[in-house]
Amino acid sequence: MTQNRIAEGDLLAAALELKEIAALEKQLKERRASIVAQIRDTVEAGTTIISSDGEMLAQVRAGARRFDAELAKQNLPAEQYSAICILQPDSRLAKQILAPAIYDLACKSTENSVVAL
């Protein structure tokens, strides 16, 4: 259920500050992505960037190797692929098959979130 509340006093100040912080975070995120891309394109992995006075500023680290199920399916023999597969619950399938009241028995709620608008 959604409801509106007119903010006053400390609540108004907190909500306005939250909105301002969210806008700054968005700007910083975009700027950071641009700078990271520039550095990544200029310097190879394993390099530490330092200032002329020796201060360490940034480091380019090699990307992590992560298991990819689709690549495994494409590249492994069927016997090896099936050996690494396990049966586990699928939340999307559960929601389709189970009655809502039964599905709710397997759900937990997360903490309420506060979002700047």
pLDDT in tens, 20-64: 999 999 999 999 999 999 999 999 999 999 999 999 999 999 999
Distance CA 70, CA 73 (A): 5
Mean pLDDT of the 65-85 span: 94
Q: Which residues pair with 58 in a beta bridge?
A: 49
Distance CA 42, CA 52 (A): 18
Q: Where are the domains positioned within the chain?
A: 9-63, 66-107
Mean pLDDT of the 68-80 span: 95
Beta strands in the chain, from DSSP E residues, in sequence order: 47-50, 56-60
The pLDDT score that the predictor gives to residue 116 is 65
**pTM confidence score:** 0.60
Percent of the chain topping pLDDT 90: 85
- The structure tokens listed for 59 are 């480091």
